[in-house]
Structure 1
Amino acid sequence: MGVELIQYVRTSSVRTDLIIALCPADKPTDELLSALDASESAIYDALSNLEGRGLVTSMDDGWRLTGTGRLVADTIHRQELLEDLIAVDTRYWEHHDTSVLPEPFRLRLPEIDDYTVVRGTQTDINRPVREVVTRVESVPRCDVVSPVYHPEYEAAMPDTPDSRLLLSHAVIDEMRNSETVSVDVDRYTETEIRVTAVPYALAVAEDWMILTLPEIDGDWPSAKIVSETDAAISWANDLFARLWTDATPIETYLDAL
């Protein structure tokens, strides 16, 4: 599907509204005329142009999307969801690196449809850390991805059979090479630990998810995305499952060093 076809539709509010209106189901012409905020002549002209582009087709009693029209409608819907996602906190998305996420999950980011960005302030610089610790301490189980070592997170992590902890290679290497930091593997008697290369943080429980992306300049940020929607939690669970499947058990990783 050519990009110019999508652009053609989106450069006209009437064409866009028609495509979206026909996306759920075919509609009679009179229903389209009453549903759209445009003149009859503008609607008829847009329908004719869309039909000429192979996006809609006329029926005896109305209009329907073609297969191409359906794909365009789906793309426009995803674009609108992405615009809504960014609009919640434009500053966050401008300054954080989304390229570190696997492409399939980058494309699914609009599923985080209702979220809050938790930032530190001059009077409460530790607010993001406290947000994570409070949530993790309050649940019987959770899955956590940790690309950097943080003793407060380690202390808060529940030790239960249903919890899983995924550490980055960098965390293990830092602990091995530091005289002041050491991984307390014995602390976790039930939580399974694996190791992988990962440049972002993630925590997900039954009722919430927290995502931490690095800043564009490479610095590790304090700002965190927090969401409690089912769609966001599902997105986070799927991302964790992908990382977990490809990760190495910590015992195997340490034995190989």
Structure 2
Amino acid sequence: MSNKHPIGIFDSGIGGTSIWREIASLLPNESTLYLSDSINAPYGEKSPEKILEFSVKNTELLLEKGSKIIVVACNTATTNAIKILRNTFDVPFIGIEPAIKPAALQTKTKSIGILATKGTLSSALFSETLKKNTTDITVIEQVGKGLVELIESGKLYSNEMTSLLTKYLNPMLEKNIDSLVLGCTHYPYLIPQIKTIVGQKVTIIDSGLAVAKQTKSILEKFELCNTLSIVPTYKFYTNSKKSVLKNILKDVELDYTIKKRKF
């Protein structure tokens, strides 16, 4: 049985396109529908109540447009809202949270760094995951305040970005980390700059491919895969400037559309 409805994806802005890239690559037969809630970015600075409100609104819009599965491509929304979303809506959800477990398993120095938003680091789910996986490991947590705003403003390679990253990462290097967990879907776009600061000895870990694999697995489990030989569509919606999305997707060779709309 084939299902040609799209995979719905939402994030507090353009960061979740790092997840979208992995999904589009791993599942080339699947159409996608992406919501960029840039007006409310970053979710990491919002209250848990607001994060839930935004997550419900985004989910309702994706379902209204026929999504067969929803990927919450935002660490903060996952850690604060996914349990309620799963209990409220009758559709499979894929969440994303910082890849603490793989970092803990591979560290040799017994010291790992986690760069994430305030909303993720202060969530109950994050605390549970940390407690479960890092009993004998030093964990240096850092709120990436200001990073999402700079990415959303198209200032990826600005002096301001370099300055903030240096300020956040140097204390981790002083604590001898050998793994750095990126706990926000915006942050993979910072990997080139991060590498110049942390060097070759630190492994940078993000969850993108793992989320794409889990999406594939759930589609197969619920028999939701598209097996028809149709050309998939890639639709993006933003409630802010289309140019911000265009800029972050400028290297993408797939045929996609971007529309601005209120939500």
- Common fold, TM-score beyond 0.5? no
TM-score by length of 2: 0.24
Mark the structure with the bigger radius of gyration. Answer: 1
